[in-house]
Amino acid sequence: LLLLSFVTVQAQDLEETLQSLSEIAAKSYVKPVIDGFGSNLNGGWYHKAPSAKIFGLDFEFGLVAMGTFIPDEDNSFSTSGIFRFNREQAEELASGVNPLLLDAVVDEIISQDFTVGISGPTVIGSEDQNVTIDFAGGTFAGETIGQQTIELDGVSGVLDEVDVIPFAAPQFSIGTVWGTQATFRYLPSIEIDDEIGELKYFGFGIQHNPTLWL
């Protein structure tokens, strides 16, 4: 419920943020949540061994919950990638050039991609800090622009330094045949957002108790 509440409430903010970043930076930005979610899918399967019986009828059904702790260093990221400035950002970069050449400089900047340094809070980072772009500078329309760092307005943390990524799913186990049981998880399709899509989950595992043979 915590996970779905976060995704539903923040989907639009997250989508707008990812659209403002390059592909490489976007992956670095969401990596803590993706890693935590992946760990959760593989966690919480085992809590007791199957009965050491040749044949028995054991059922278990319940809701399993798990959470992945997020280290503090995942609150921020630093990478490099391809980035294209919009007109407002280009005007900020060109604020010191000859006013008569401003439009020409801006037009040249927004017409090309640049390799830049990108750093700042990840999706679980601080909401009070914005992602920054480190621009190496260059010459445009005969005007030289030096190295600069600009902030991406509104591109900040979304979860504001959370410590745990939660997840839960119904789980059903059935056994026992030669000390072995099967375990299944299933989460029906849930519509999160028109742009984000649906969340659904299915998994299974087989557990064996070797003490049957001892």
**Residue 109, C-beta contacts closer than 8 angstroms, at least 6 positions apart:** 85, 90, 93, 94, 140
User: Is the per-residue pLDDT at 63 higher than 70?
Assistant: yes
Q: At what angle do helices 23-41 and 2-19 cross, to 10 degrees?
A: 170
Instruction: With beta carbons less than 8 A apart as the criterion, state whether 29 and 131 touch.
Output: yes
Give the separation between CA 123 and CA 76, rounded to whole angstroms.
8
Give the model confidence (pLDDT) of 27-55 as tens digits: 888 889 888 888 888 888 888 889 999 99
Q: Please, is 191 exposed, middle or buried when counting C-beta atoms within 10 Å of its C-beta (0-12, 13-18, 19+)?
A: exposed
Instruction: With beta carbons less than 8 A apart as the criterion, state whether 53 and 179 touch.
Output: yes
Instruction: With beta carbons less than 8 A apart as the criterion, state whether 160 and 76 touch.
Output: no
Residues facing 134 on adjacent strands? 117, 149
pTM comes to: 0.71
In whole numbers, what is the pLDDT of the chain averaged over residues?
Answer: 85
Instruction: Kindly write down the DSSP assignment for every residue of 132-165, as one continuous string.
Output: EEEE--EEETTEEE--EEEEEEEEE-SS-S-SEE
Q: DSSP letter at 102? A: H
User: What's the rounded mean pLDDT across residues 103-114?
Assistant: 94
**Residue 87, C-beta contacts closer than 8 angstroms, at least 6 positions apart:** 106, 110
